[in-house]
Structure 1
Amino acid sequence: MSGSDGPLVLGPLLRYVDDTSAAVWVETRDAARVTVVRGDATTTARTFAVHGHHYALVELSDLAPGSVASYTVDVDGERVWPEPDSPFPAPVIATLEPGRPLRLAFGSCRTSVSHDEAGNQMHGVDALRAWALRMADQVEPAETADPDDPDLAPQLPDLLLFLGDQVYADETTDEMRAFIESRRDIEQPPWTELKDYEEYAHLYSLAWSDPANRWLLSTVPSSMIFDDHDIRDDWNTSLDWRREMEATSWWHGRIVAGLASYWVYQHLGNLSPAARAEDELWQVVARHDGDDEHDLGEVIDAFAARVDQRPETYRWSYTRDFDTQARLVVVDSRAARDLRPDSRAMLDRDEAAWLDDQLRGDVDHLLVGTSLPFLLARGLHHLEAFSEALAQGAWGERGARAGERLRQTVDLEHWGAFQDSFQDVARQAMEVAAGERGRAPSTVTFLSGDVHHSYVTQAWPAGHRPPLTSTLLQAVCSPIRNPLSRNMRFATAVLSYGVAGPAGRLASRSARVPDAPLKWTYAEGPWFDNNLACLQVSGRSLKMWWVTGKVVDDDHARPRLAKVATYELDEQGNPPPHEGAVAKLRRRLRRR
């Protein structure tokens, strides 16, 4: 039995899986021993506690590469997963197989509201849930889709990558607000926003407890990274923003609870067995294994307070290697920022050096996961660069105040607003793509979310630099479920189609912003649907496609899956023929 009345509160979530090991995460009602059985492998772990909540991460090892087997979960000897009479297939653990084509899904920005007509009218269809139902073979493709399209077939990927805003700590739903109001006065700070660990625990429960999504997370390995709404909108936009937050009575509690819960619910499962063994908090858990359960609340709160103030003392970024086919580098673009005006950077010195070391070739595809798109629409990029230059004093003290207001009001805090970091990473990516950091991969692809619209951008060197061996791409999937308003869609489209590009470039030049070492243009998009992206690599080929959920015959409980867009490189790694800007705009308008 699972849920609040049973021994299993949340999960299981299948987290880090490679060719011989797997990690299964659960939250239980009480202190317990959790057992995972997969074929002949049986592994048991004792729970650890954080602020009265109980968790276990069960680590399976010595598995056969390329094997697929169902598994069960017991809590103190009671079978809790799969649930009796579940309509979904048995959960499986599928290990990686070297040389097999790699397939993953990615996306960001997902609110947790009901999946009925009211919820869908407010937030649209949950693309993750529509995809989960299709993967479980519970529904057919939408009527608007080709039923024979292999991209819509129920084929489970090797990894599901969440690129931020899995939970919204600042924009709470009615259900979350009701829970908050049951505990405290919502007329007092922080009002209907999250305050402490208990509220974060409830928010994660809302995010991961829908039956279809819960089944999906129990059978597809997942990796995650935070973005601002996991903590608060515009988290670490600037030093002024941070000082304003730290002057409140509630911010310290928020950031401590946010980072502490993130380590438990998201980050712990990102780590490989070797990285986990070196993790300072996991070492505390391991030291108490076998003893009476020890509550780590004070320990993890102290840890979270420290890494907030001294981000160089802990790394949230991580890497995944998929033999020589692909390397995935997932970058913390929020907590590791240097906000000092004289050294402002998206990544502090230690984090920047770490990323520099990870950006290497000798793989077929280099994938860089960063919640914030590295390449925005050109107009937005120039506007962000201009706002940073203003805030840094390019037009004097009055201009600096205007620049700070501008970047906080319009959320100008992506890579383009941290020009030193943008220039450095652009140079590093170009060196990889030119074969100067090992064998050049077929692609260097940035995977991102955050901006509530999706697109594919293709980039090339600016000026008289030599051409690149690799195709340099930016792929964005956002939102999974949290669409922009119609007015915001229009504003974004204006910037995205390049209308604001020349004006933005002129403004940034007026503030003496250095020219970008790259040029880039849309290869596909933008589009604004709730969607989830899929990516498959095999040799030098790469294919990406975006899917969304459609309600058919008013059946809101069982949305159908439909394809939104596709981008593909051939077996030689060649991109599709370049399409002129005018023709591309006409095709987009016809599609609408």
Structure 2
Amino acid sequence: MTRTASPSPLVLGPMLRYVGETEATVWVETSGPAAVTVEADGRDWRAPTFSVKDHHYALVVVDGLEPGGEWEYAVRVGDERVWPEPESTFPPPRIRTIDRTQPTRLLFGSCRTTVPHDREGNRTHGVDALRTLALALGRGEEAWPDLIAFLGDQVYADETSEAMREFIASRRSLDEAPGEEIKDYEEYAHLYWLAWHDEANRWLLSTVPSCMIFDDHDIRDDWNTSWGWHQEINRTPWWHERLMGGLASYWVYQHIGNLSPGLLAEDEIFAKVLAATGDELDLTQAVLDLARRVDRHPEVYRWSFRRDLGDSRLVVVDSRAARVLEPERRSMLDPDEMSWLDEQLAGDVEHLLIGTSLPFLLPPGLHDLEAIDEVLATGVHGRLVAHGAEKVRRTVDLEHWAAFNGGFAEVFEMVMEVARGERGGAPANVVFLSGDVHNSYVAEVVEVVDARPHVGARSRVLQAVCSPIRNPMPRGLRVMMSLFARGLVRPMCAIAGRSKRVPDPAYPWRVTDGPWFDNCLAELTVQGRDLAIVWRGGEVRDGDDAHPVLTTVASVRLPAGA
């Protein structure tokens, strides 16, 4: 099936994106200019399409709803009802507004490649955990989640599938740079269609709210790893068009759905859509200009966002585009982004959840290795050592928070202030939610390690990782990485301890559960002041590759802090 094969004017979606207590947003891509209408509860809400590069989109704001309500909804493009599809075997899509009296149920994960859901696809990439959950929800076998947080690598622009390569070859030679990788906005649009058009996943995204943040593969592996990487990639003849297409399509397909209606009205680009009258508004130049400005000056636009979920607050941080890369002042976040995060990290909420695509707390040995590599790459031991450290950094992806230690230490102190109750009432838990590393685990800040004093936290401070949704690490590499992480703890700690240049983290932590390497999607459930997290994957039984069943990879119960 191709994008043009269906006679329906609905190309992709609908996707239920933002949902609050009284309002929601529904995103669609259409085949041409149109008015898009969402119908629910005997009412309707309408929005005109806007275009980018001859593709047509609408984001419909559904407002005036009751808190804690639930309504089936339908979508019309022009006068044609396009969703739900008449022959669909899935239940009708629903909008469920937030009920602050009910406990939060949040799904999260990252890293999902797009290959067919047949025997060969399952053999090479494993079962899609997202699709497996969609099938279980469609059968009424699972409790309904409040939100799915996709924490990076929603699409792989640098590792394309056979279907994507066929589309690229229909437009240009694969011998033309960047070869089998995504080149421009048109190819990104097809990449998103491939990722989200499967019937089960499409239904799931139409009825469960979602939020998203990019990671490197959404643009390219190692995106913004270092100043050296930045200089080298900008010397290639194809990079500028790739980055412009990647950021522009991210704004359309992922970012605007993260924003509440109030923030959409304040957004410099989407405000043009809300103010438009008459013919369809062409936003091509506006979003490409935004991408150019963001590349040169990240502080001009914020990709980070916040969701309030009743008993929980979710703060999702851009840990890719807002980096400071100059060697003398490296930080994961530029000053403007750091200031924004400082404002969001406050107490007076039961559970504070911090989404960042890259794990904040790596296994301690890996953390020290990245911190050591960052120091060596500055040239303190000569140019040759610096060159080697930079090569290692890119080869084995030593570019997490530990490799931007200044920003790591600053954010860690903010979090511990929240946990000590210095920024309002201390939450029961402060939890980093992350992906990226193709394994899942839990780590926790601990009160005492050897002779270290108590850290004084009243909240539990945790890291929960879920990766991949569908892109498993090869089995041989799993064993090596597991042993490597454990074996690094003492030697890296000893090396770091002897170096005055490698900073010692102010607060100790340890991995308490994991790692697990299965394809999975994590579900965090609030249970009063406690939390429970279950990682679930899919399994093919009786040779039925099209209908995998849910399996439990791991489960952890996390009692509240003091």
Structure 1, residues 91-136: CA drift from partner, whole Å, max 9, x if none? 0000111121111100000001000000000100000000110011
Which stretch of structure 1 is more off in the superposition, 382-391 or 508-517?
Answer: 508-517
Q: Percent identity, aligned pairs only?
A: 55
CA RMSD of aligned residues (A): 1.4
CA distance in 2, matches of 1:514, 1:386: 9
Q: CA deviation at 1:466?
A: 3.7
1:282 aligns with 2:270: yes
Q: Report the equivalent of 1:533.
A: 522
CA distance in 2, matches of 1:5, 1:412: 47
CA distance in 2, matches of 1:11, 1:126: 19
Which stretch of structure 1 is more off in the superposition, 363-372 or 293-302?
Answer: 293-302
Structure 1, residues 20-73: CA drift from partner, whole Å, max 9, x if none? 001000000010011100112210110000000000001010101111110000
Structure 1, residues 219-278: CA drift from partner, whole Å, max 9, x if none? 000000000000000100000001111000000001100000000000000001111110
CA distance in 1, matches of 2:144, 2:115: 25
CA distance in 1, matches of 2:274, 2:21: 24
CA distance in 1, matches of 2:229, 2:113: 25
Distance 1:478 1:351, change over 3 A: same
Q: 2:497 aligns with which of 495, 504, 509?
A: 509
Q: Report the equivalent of 1:295.
A: 282
Counterpart contact for 1:452–1:478, Cα < 8 Å: yes
TM-score for both structures, normalised by structure 1: 0.92
Counterpart contact for 1:111–1:482, Cα < 8 Å: yes
Q: Report the equivalent of 1:229.
A: 217
Q: Report the equivalent of 2:507.
A: 518
Q: Which amino acid aligns with 1:448?
A: S
TM-score for both structures, normalised by structure 2: 0.97
Counterpart contact for 2:459–2:561, Cα < 8 Å: no
Q: CA deviation at 1:396?
A: 2.5
Alignment of 1:95-494 (within 5 A): 95-137=97-139, 153-288=141-276, 290-323=277-310, 325-461=311-447, 463-494=452-483
Q: CA deviation at 1:322?
A: 2.1
Report how many residues are paired. Answer: 556
Q: Report the equivalent of 1:74.
A: 76
Q: CA deviation at 1:398?
A: 2.2
1:494 match: secondary structure: helix
* Structure 2 residue runs without a partner (length 5+): none
Q: 2:50 aligns with which of 48, 65, 89?
A: 48
Which stretch of structure 1 is more off in the superposition, 88-97 or 484-493?
Answer: 484-493
Which stretch of structure 1 is more off in the superposition, 480-489 or 172-181?
Answer: 480-489
1:319 match: secondary structure: strand
Distance 1:396 1:509, change over 3 A: farther
Q: Which amino acid aligns with 1:291?
A: G
Structure 1, residues 455-481: CA drift from partner, whole Å, max 9, x if none? 111112563244311011100000000
1:562 aligns with 2:551: yes
Structure 1, residues 182-204: CA drift from partner, whole Å, max 9, x if none? 00011011101001100000000
2:252 match: secondary structure: helix
CA distance in 2, matches of 1:518, 1:349: 23
Counterpart contact for 2:468–2:520, Cα < 8 Å: yes
Distance 1:394 1:506, change over 3 A: farther
CA distance in 2, matches of 1:281, 1:255: 18
Distance 1:568 1:322, change over 3 A: same
Q: CA deviation at 1:393?
A: 2.2
Q: Which amino acid aligns with 2:98?
A: L
CA distance in 2, matches of 1:376, 1:54: 41
Q: Which amino acid aligns with 1:322?
A: L
Counterpart contact for 1:256–1:301, Cα < 8 Å: yes
CA distance in 2, matches of 1:268, 1:569: 33
1:542 aligns with 2:544: no
1:182 match: secondary structure: helix
Q: Which amino acid aligns with 1:249?
A: P
CA distance in 1, matches of 2:115, 2:7: 22
CA distance in 2, matches of 1:569, 1:527: 18
* Structure 1 residue runs without a partner (length 5+): 139-152, 576-592
Counterpart contact for 2:437–2:467, Cα < 8 Å: yes
Counterpart contact for 1:2–1:83, Cα < 8 Å: no
CA distance in 1, matches of 2:553, 2:476: 21
Structure 1, residues 467-509: CA drift from partner, whole Å, max 9, x if none? 311011100000000000123212220133x211111223333
1:553 aligns with 2:542: yes
Q: Which amino acid aligns with 2:254?
A: Q
CA distance in 2, matches of 1:21, 1:386: 48
Q: Which amino acid aligns with 2:346?
A: R
Counterpart contact for 1:536–1:543, Cα < 8 Å: yes
CA distance in 2, matches of 1:355, 1:23: 25
Q: CA deviation at 1:441?
A: 0.3
1:518 match: secondary structure: coil
Q: Which amino acid aligns with 2:320?
A: R
CA distance in 2, matches of 1:188, 1:49: 28
Q: Report the equivalent of 1:10.
A: 12
Q: CA deviation at 1:3?
A: 6.4
CA distance in 2, matches of 1:308, 1:474: 30
CA distance in 1, matches of 2:258, 2:105: 18
Which stretch of structure 1 is more off in the superposition, 535-544 or 545-554?
Answer: 535-544
2:416 match: secondary structure: helix
Q: Which amino acid aligns with 1:89?
A: P
Structure 1, residues 408-440: CA drift from partner, whole Å, max 9, x if none? 111100001011111111111111111111100
CA distance in 2, matches of 1:470, 1:45: 44
1:62 match: secondary structure: coil
Q: CA deviation at 1:574?
A: 5.4
CA distance in 2, matches of 1:307, 1:16: 24
Distance 1:509 1:170, change over 3 A: same
